[in-house]
Structure 1
């Protein structure tokens, strides 16, 4: 372990979309580190990557890779279940972007702007929430602070990059085939592992991940369960619908909430505008509202179309968009690491 203030860092999944975003953000934010180790599968081992002007060789991720590491940033995937405990055994704190540990009662599930205090009770692993959950709760926390939220109805409009590079390629290949009058057989969405696939170009698919026994998808139930855990409020009634749309990057969400007390639209706008990590984009007269093209590669979650519900006095409707690879994944994890460094928690 390093004895300096700056930690030794490892990035697991360094060659993937989230891993590459980690590297970009480390450079952009001047993230402090003493030593850096880039890890990936055997297939990617040996690749050369530049970080902060220095060339690093990607190594195959093994349990012993985490010797001497203070903070391990895991980009996600099933490998987390295997390697996270191994990293912890060797003294590292793992910040994990997979769903493997999110609902473990011994693992904090953290959005630093919302519940940073939970970081303190970790037992070696800190979980990053689902991207759609992060984007939604960044918009709702400033409202929750005005008046407790009793009910949430949310529909997501999720970019194909949420399905990885294969999802992006699927959309682009389908668009190219359509423009040339050719047929293209879809093979990725809703999920490559499922027996049936649908085109995403000029289409929307109301299924992300597999269906559960209650006919909600795994993605939808993540939003329910993770919201309860992050807000420490199991009484919030939540109904989600998760939809894949033909957008390359950055998710959007239509959210209806009911608050315990009647709150004004102006107070909501003021709270959202003042909340760190969100930006208010809400000017109907000038046709200004959040859109994925504008929020892609941006750190803040944009919130707009804030309006009182037409049927319920304590109901508010809003529209949200945020980059699911940035704030929905890599940035959130890096902010957890930054919080730990600034509070001498490693």
Structure 2
């Protein structure tokens, strides 16, 4: 016996990935619905070998449905998620709306799956920010061994994290560089993204950090350990899919790089590719479409008594969004709902 699952925001990049991953991982679905706004009504999306026609969120009846995967942004989530949750359907939300709500669990299954029991407070589970999700998968097994004091992370985030319009902007700006008269001015981003990097993701806060940087701090504390100090610099780079992170970790006790490499090799959701030779590491292009979080460049930090550096790469549309949401659904099905 399977589950009745609704994907809300099914025509967007993340919604389509949710449908793909549900099919790829053979989630036990008895019935599936592709939900979208009225302007996308009647659009077709793929679910394995099936073609689904989207239905209107305003008229869809969620009563009797088990799980709703939300990928519609904070404003729409604020309007619809409480209504859906009130029907008894568990909402797994990809927006930032509920991440910092103490009554809503923020889950990365490889890290804090046990926290899922907290869904009963509001019938809602939050999915973390894309840049946080891949980082905490790497941090948790190391923290269990040698307790992390401080993390300094610089991110290199792909344009797909900003949606389809950002992907189009990078593509069109890149083409425009080679065709006189077809130059494309910035619209999605405040500056040109093609052949450039922009040290600015989300809005600026009063203390000078951006909201994206603040998210990484707050979410790491909620998911892993509130005592960990985190500082982040988040940068948008001209890559279509795949986020990268250079992570510096300070531990309370010494952790040898070889032991760290062995720990990460055994950790769930991680693939270590770490050869000290040309090309002996993973780049964003190679991680696209993969479920794993890839770790490379593991090495001692000689400026600290107990420090390590590592390189972390993942498909942000998958582990950073759709895959993590589906993994949450799997935990929910296996531990809580338990049909069949």
Normalised to the residue count of structure 1, the TM-score between the two structures is 0.94
**Which one is further off, 253-262 or 140-149?**
140-149
**Counterpart-to-counterpart distance in 2, 1:269 and 1:180:** 47
Q: Give the secondary structure class of the aligned counterpart of 2:111.
A: coil
- Aligned to 1:153, the other structure's residue is in SS state strand
- Which SS does the other structure have where 2:125 is aligned? strand
2:250 is paired with a residue whose SS is strand
Q: Distance in 1 between matches of 2:231 and 2:66?
A: 39
Q: What is the distance in 1 between the residues matched to 2:187 and 2:46?
A: 33
Which residue of structure 1 aligns with residue 27 of structure 2?
A: 31
CA separation in 2, counterparts of 1:162 and 1:267? 33
Q: Give unmatched runs, 5+ long, in structure 2.
A: none
Q: Which residue of 2 aligns with 1:89?
A: 86
User: Secondary structure of 2:39's match?
Assistant: coil
Determine the C-alpha separation between the residues in 1 that align with 2:168 and 2:145: 43
Q: Contact 1:63–1:86 at 8 Å: present in 2 too?
A: no
Structure 2 residue aligned with 1:315, among 294, 307, 318? 307
Pair 1:288 & 2:280 matched: yes
Q: How many residues align?
A: 334
Preserved contact between residue 294 and residue 313 of structure 2 (Cα < 8 Å): yes
* Equivalent residue, structure 1, for 2:206: 213
Once superposed, which parts of structure 1, at least 4 consecutive aligned residues long, lie more than 6 Å away?
Answer: none
Decide whether the 8 Å contact of 2:20 with 2:48 is kept in 1.
Answer: no
126-135 vs 283-292, greater mean Cα deviation: 283-292
Other structure's SS at 1:8 match: strand
SS at structure 2 position matched to 1:253: strand
Please give the per-residue CA displacement for 1:210-237, whole angstroms capped at 9, x wherever unaligned: 0011110000000000000001x22211
Equivalent-residue separation in structure 2 for 1:179 and 1:129 (angstroms): 38
Mapped contact 1:63–1:87 kept (Cα < 8 A): no
1:193-342 aligned within 5 A = 197-231=190-224, 233-342=225-334
Distance verdict in 2 for CA 1:186–1:117, change over 3 Å: same
Instruction: Give the gaps of 5 or more residues in structure 1.
Output: 190-196
Q: Deviations over 1:308-334 (max 9, x none)?
A: 112112010111100110011001010
CA contact (8 A) 1:208 1:243 kept: yes
- CA distance in 1 between counterparts of 2:284 and 2:60 reads 40
Deviation at 1:138, TM superposition (A): 1.1
